[in-house]
Amino acid sequence: MSKTKGFLAEFKEFISRGSVIDLAVGVIIGSAFTAIVNSMVNDIIMPIFGWIFGGIDFTSLKYVITPASEGVTEAAIYYGNFIQNIVNFLLIALVIFSVIKMINHFHRTEEAPAPEQPETPEEVVLLREIRDSLQDKK
């Protein structure tokens, strides 16, 4: 019984640590954020991108090695799908970069402004006092 109780207590301690809970929250928020970014790229940016480039669908581009014949499917290299995935990656990276840049901008505006003059280190103050006291003795 004591081993089971010790194991359960140890497991409870492990789960209640902040790092495990923070990781779980990060994964959940990351999943939600992924859905938002994918929707933005697929539903907003890609249609605009397609419109600009004349509605090109990269996924249909392929190089046929052996054409289809009776009962045999074609052998092809689907390079268009690869191009589409590269475009999606670049657009997703651009969206994430923009969102993080915007978040960092808001964090910078919320921070208190730095003091105009840096604080003088104690050693400098002491050296000035020593200098002034030596000048007074002359």
Q: Which residue ranges make up each domain of the chain?
A: 1-56, 57-115
- Find where tokens 């539903």 sit: 43
pLDDT in tens, the chain (138 residues): 556 678 888 887 777 776 777 788 888 888 888 888 888 888 888 788 778 877 766 778 889 898 888 888 889 998 988 888 888 888 888 888 888 888 888 887 766 566 666 666 787 787 888 888 888 776
63-79 CB burial, b ≥16 within 10 A, e <16: eeeeeeeeeeeeeeeee
R_g of the chain, CA atoms, integer Å:
31
**Kind and range of the H or E element at 75?**
strand 75-77
Helices (H) and strands (E) counted in the chain, each on its own, are 5, 2
